[in-house]
Amino acid sequence: MEQDQQEIIFKLSMFEQQMQQLQEQLQAVEERIIDLNSLNIGLDELKESCGKEILAPVGRGMFVKAKLISEDLIVNIGGKNLVKKNIPDAQRMIEEQIQKLEDMKKEMNEMLEKTGEEITKTIRETGETGKEKQ
């Protein structure tokens, strides 16, 4: 019986760790979605701003005044590859990334739900096993 309890405790501990990791990943995905939405809004503000003065980031929390000479963007598409994109194309790319993250978020929520169901099932089975032994 003691071995059964240890196995159950171990199983529940593993479920708890899995849920905690999923929640951390979910939070990171949600933060990335917020960042991308903010970027999208920022790009809206750049439209028709050619020739205007803006604050351009040069590092963590540091900005420089700059004059916008073009609405073309240089976008990192991964693997140190940079491409030129106009604002609408960049916004479409951002929307695609947001959609992929939303899909990931949905999958993670489903995994959290399934893990919660497994925990409930394990606890229920433990209670039923304990009643049978009495």
pLDDT for position 5: 81
Summarize pLDDT for 28-49 with one digit per residue, the tens: 999 999 999 999 998 988 888 8
Nearest to 3 by CA among 132, 11, 16: 11
The domain segmentation of the chain, as residue ranges, is: 2-129
Identify the pLDDT of residue 132. Answer: 57
Q: How far apart are CA 53 and CA 66, in angstroms?
A: 6
| One-letter amino acid for residue 110 of the chain | E
pLDDT at position 50 is 85
CATH domain 2-129 topology: Helix Hairpins (1.10.287)
pLDDT score recorded for residue 27: 97
Q: What is the pLDDT of residues 68-94, one digit of tens each?
A: 998 899 999 889 899 999 999 999 999
Q: Can you tell me whether residue 120 is helix, strand or coil?
A: helix
pLDDT tens across 88-123, in order? 999 999 999 999 999 999 999 999 999 999 888 888
In sequence order, what are the residues at sequence separation of 6 or more whose Cβ sits closer than 8 angstroms to the Cβ of residue 109? 26
In whole angstroms, give the CA distance from residue 60 to residue 57: 8
**Predicted pLDDT of residue 41:** 92
Residue 127's pLDDT band (boundaries 50, 70, 90)? Answer: confident
At residue 44's C-alpha, the angle toward residues 64 and 104, to 5°, is: 105
> Which residue would you say has higher pLDDT here, 2 or 64?
64
pTM for the model? 0.78
- Per the listing, tokens 């071995």 go with 3
Q: Is 60 helix (H, G, I), strand (E, B) or coil?
A: coil
pLDDT at 134: 52
